[in-house]
Structure 1
């Protein structure tokens, strides 16, 4: 009798939680929203690229009222770095998942059910037609996406190829004019590895370097972000030698799985220090912290940051699903929230290569952490977004956990009852 009563209570408990979860789904705010402080953000439209948790990536242009005035959403794709060119067109890094029938046989050896096409496309602003493209096939979408692209002054295009651990430049005809293979400069036996160390090359399709950014610096060198080494390296394009290193492999107190470094003209580099949940400005020679904003109480896995001419900083707060702009006091003056897993953001009124701005030494740092329990819950919430619908945040996940636990207990009680009756 007691077991039947427990089962009845458990059934009502599960039923009640199902109703609560349904109500949470109906009342959840699944849209995007924007807020702005009285003093307002720096002027101009904002370009936001969205990786997404699935395959519905997009590129959005927002006006000064945070309204979407232009949108590009290729099917079955993730969208990464984008920039506006001098002619007004957009240059975009896109990775598209393809079914086996559309894949070359040599790209089906690791993941036979898929391959990807990594593409860099230039889109006509008015028609959204592709007016220039460079693409290649690769094995799978996880850790093989093309993350960054940069149109150079001479018309060539610089690209990082994460899946093949390389950076390269192509001309307008699509011919490779320069290439830098990480295995020749970072692997065991190289000068870099002897001096700094770093993870061993596992070979094959493993995620070794996770190179995610390339920029042409004013001195003509290339700046590369090697995420899995926790370093930003400067490469002489003529010799291909590494001439400067920011960070240190394995020393995550300096950088931890960083994205999108941005060299400022005062000799510092602004970096989205993703694993440390902060944006940090470092002295490019000494690694000294000049300015920082973040901590998990403010940011979660940021992946892009730009210093604007007035000293504000535009930040992509990826796992909090938002883009924010903070002023020189570390106060949020603009936010665009609810956009699923954004990757980069640019204020289009600021030229792509304009690195003249207010140095971090004149700004106020701000860092707000969380305790270990809060941090773990926020991390679980972020990972759950890859599996569950976008409206399921921590409260909804806790409700779902209660449903699962209650159902398991109900099944256990039922199985014991059947065994005894049998």
Structure 2
């Protein structure tokens, strides 16, 4: 009877003060004022920090996968077609532009039996669009390029291609620049082929026989992001399967981009820089490897903290134990943007300038696929833990000041109810990007907030943030959900914390601001927090 009464009281108290499980689950002072863009199913959402929808765009296609908000307020989005010719994770096929009001203004299919857009696109400053695509290379062509026939497990091989197009009318485009990785491969397997060279002495080219432990499938490279650096006129590329990032010259002509000469840097379309896995060009071993299936490598914009350095999300896929990190690395360059390199060695730096991982237990932060990290103008970093549909913002001191859990089932587009456990449905999110409220796209636009995406939303904590008393006394439990440990962030003195399971039984106690749930079964728990003569209850999900 006492247990049931206690449980009822806990539930009643928790109903008023509990944290959300989806949508905006955490917000505190120091969060960057802006709107976050992400896409799931056929919908693309722009939300404020409370999770309220500022704008929404609807396509006929699921993600394909990147999405960007242009300075004029239009949405640039890649969509996934029903094509079955070139298929692998991240496939796309169509690029669309919608105006602020949701009207489709441009639709361009880059999807034939021999080529298909996938993963990423990028809006160029001149209005053009970069497209990342896979194209078909036959096995016979691959062997002629020096591929070991024993490393061909399918009927063809995918070349990775970047094309720049100028939109033309409603559904056309003109290709104005092109680059193909297959023009920059080297090998030391077959001396009868023209590209037979010492791989270790040619870091500007890709060893066509290095598979990083892969199977030799068609999708041997799996490029998953491209990004343009306008300061140096360079393109940053991420290869998930080879666990490397590359930088190439965009100033070349298409003809030069197929060679090893020409352009601002005199190397044509060869790599200007590479990093992450030096064994790929025989300048290291597995112990020298830094990247594991990384995503979203880009150069931080001038004027921001760590400007001109490279930020990326290091997924950690394929290592043990499994955990993810955010890296900031600083390649050494001269004033012309030429990367420092000592012949017959690996590109530096030896280690990143900065690494973020979960401060309590690295394995609590992991997304084997998808994901992104973005430096914000106030010095914070926005991180998308894609496999878990989690977007969160950290300060330079690594305090979490905002967290959002995607409330949409990414398999069927169904929207969940506030309070639902996000571990019970797929809510994968390819990328999350935040735009400041002063971004040009919002000039003259109606940015009045609508309802949050999730059903039966609870905005109490977000609205209370504007209350000075709340700001002074706020109490936040994080991370929530958790795998092992939760922490209490508050300026109050904590006397003790009691832990109750869903049956109302007390299962633990802590006299600090850290609560260890590692020995408890997965499920819902209630923390009863005592501070002076006050108590508050918080619901925690362990999974």
TM-score, structure 2 normalization: 0.51
Q: Please say if 1:326 is aligned against 2:394.
A: yes
Q: Please say if 1:291 is aligned against 2:354.
A: yes
Q: CA offset at residue 216 of structure 1?
A: 1.8
Name the CA distance, whole Å, in 1 between partners of 2:174 and 2:123: 15
**CA deviation vs aligned residue, 1:194-243 (integer Å, no higher than 9, x gap):** 54565638999721211122222111122211222211111113122211
> In 1, are the aligned partners of 2:376 and 2:382 still within 8 Å (CA)?
yes
Pairs within 5 Å for 1:254-333: 254-264=290-300, 265=302, 266-275=307-316, 277-285=324-332, 286-287=348-349, 288-294=351-357, 295-301=362-368, 303-333=371-401
1:200 aligns to what SS in structure 2? coil
Corresponding residue to 2:270 among 223, 226, 241: 241
Name the CA distance, whole Å, in 2 between partners of 1:229 and 1:192: 19
Pairs within 5 Å for 1:1-20: none
Name the CA distance, whole Å, in 1 between partners of 2:367 and 2:210: 29
Name the CA distance, whole Å, in 2 between partners of 1:80 and 1:327: 28
> In 1, are the aligned partners of 2:75 and 2:98 still within 8 Å (CA)?
yes
Name the CA distance, whole Å, in 2 between partners of 1:262 and 1:90: 20
> In 1, are the aligned partners of 2:24 and 2:49 still within 8 Å (CA)?
no
Distance 1:91 1:205, change over 3 A: farther
Q: CA offset at residue 96 of structure 1?
A: 2.5
Moved more, 275-284 or 81-90: 275-284
State the 4+ residue runs in structure 1 displaced beyond 4 angstroms.
138-141, 190-194, 196-199, 201-205, 249-252
Corresponding residue to 1:158 among 130, 134, 144: 130
1:296 aligns to what SS in structure 2? helix
Moved more, 39-48 or 299-308: 299-308
1:183 aligns to what SS in structure 2? helix
Match of 2:167 in 1: 172
**CA deviation vs aligned residue, 1:269-291 (integer Å, no higher than 9, x gap):** 11011125111111224232111
Name the CA distance, whole Å, in 1 between partners of 2:42 and 2:355: 29
Name the CA distance, whole Å, in 1 between partners of 2:48 and 2:219: 37
Name the CA distance, whole Å, in 2 between partners of 1:187 and 1:296: 37
Q: CA offset at residue 298 of structure 1?
A: 2.6
> In 2, are the aligned partners of 1:260 and 1:271 still within 8 Å (CA)?
yes
TM-score, structure 1 normalization: 0.64
Corresponding residue to 2:50 among 43, 55, 65: 65
> In 2, are the aligned partners of 1:198 and 1:249 still within 8 Å (CA)?
no
Distance 1:57 1:222, change over 3 A: same
Moved more, 247-256 or 129-138: 247-256
Match of 2:103 in 1: 129
Q: CA offset at residue 260 of structure 1?
A: 0.8
**CA deviation vs aligned residue, 1:318-376 (integer Å, no higher than 9, x gap):** 12221111111112111111441111111121769xxxxxxxxxxxxxxx9xxxx99xx
CA-atom RMSD, angstroms?
Answer: 3.5
Corresponding residue to 2:33 among 23, 35, 43: 43
**CA deviation vs aligned residue, 1:136-174 (integer Å, no higher than 9, x gap):** 225699xx7621111112221111114651111111231
Corresponding residue to 2:239 among 220, 226, 241: 226
Name the CA distance, whole Å, in 1 between partners of 2:60 and 2:244: 33
Moved more, 281-290 or 202-211: 202-211
Number of residue pairs aligned between Structure 1 and Structure 2: 309
Q: CA offset at residue 192 of structure 1?
A: 9.8
Q: Is there any run of 5+ residues in structure 2 with no aligned partner, and where?
A: 1-18, 136-158, 188-194, 253-267, 280-285, 317-322, 333-347, 408-426, 441-478, 485-520, 524-543
1:170 aligns to what SS in structure 2? strand
> In 1, are the aligned partners of 2:35 and 2:46 still within 8 Å (CA)?
yes
Q: CA offset at residue 258 of structure 1?
A: 1.1
Q: Is there any run of 5+ residues in structure 1 with no aligned partner, and where?
A: 1-28, 51-55, 99-106, 353-367, 375-393, 397-422
Q: CA offset at residue 316 of structure 1?
A: 0.6
Distance 1:32 1:183, change over 3 A: same
Name the CA distance, whole Å, in 2 between partners of 1:41 and 1:344: 19
